[in-house]
Amino acid sequence: MEEIGIKKIGNQQVFRDIERTGERLKEQFRRLAERAQSEMNSKVQTTKLEAAYALTVPKEQRRKTMQEVKEVRGELWEEALKKADGDVNKAYIFYENLCDFP
C-alpha cells in the first residue's frame, strides 16, 4: 500500500513540474513577444523617419549626415563594447538598445 502512495506522490510531482515548466515557457514567450513588438515599432518609426528625410533633405546634406551617423554609430559601438567588457555578443545587445529609435 505504501508503494502506491509513493507512486501517487511522485506522479503528482511530475504534473506539478510540467505545470511549472509550462508557466515558465509562457513567461519567456511573453517577454519575447514584447521585445519583438518593441523592435517592430522601432523599425517602423525608423523607416518613417528615413522616408521623410529622403523626401525633404537635399542629397548633399544627406551625404554629410550619413558620415556623421557612421561616426556616432562607431562611438556607440565602442561604448557598448566597453559596457560588455569586450564580449561582442553582449555588446551587440547594448548597441541595439543604444541605437533604438524611440
Higher pLDDT pick, 39 / 81? 81
In contact, 98 and 80? CB cutoff 8 Å: yes
CA-to-CA distance for 7 and 14, rounded, in angstroms? 10
Same structural domain for residues 62 and 52? no
Residues 42 and 29 placed together within one structural domain of the fold: yes
CB atoms within 10 A of CB 80: 20
Q: For residue 102, name the pLDDT band (cuts at 50, 70, 90).
A: low
Query: Phi and psi at residue 58, in whole multiples of 5°?
Result: -60, 150
Tens of pLDDT along 53-74?
999 999 999 999 999 999 999 9
Give CA torsion, residues 8, 9, 13, 15, to 10 deg. Answer: 30
pLDDT band at 18 (very low <50, low <70, confident <90, very high): very high
Task: Taking residues 69-91, report their average pLDDT.
Answer: 94
Note the helical H segments in 1-87.
2-56, 59-83
Domain count, the chain: 2
Domain finish residue from 56, 71, 87: 56
- Clarify whether residues 62 and 91 are in a common domain: yes
User: Do 86 and 65 share a domain, yes or no?
Assistant: yes
Asked whether residue 8 falls in the same domain as residue 45, the answer is yes
Domain span including residue 74: 58-102
- Asked if residue 79 and residue 96 are part of one domain, the reply reads yes
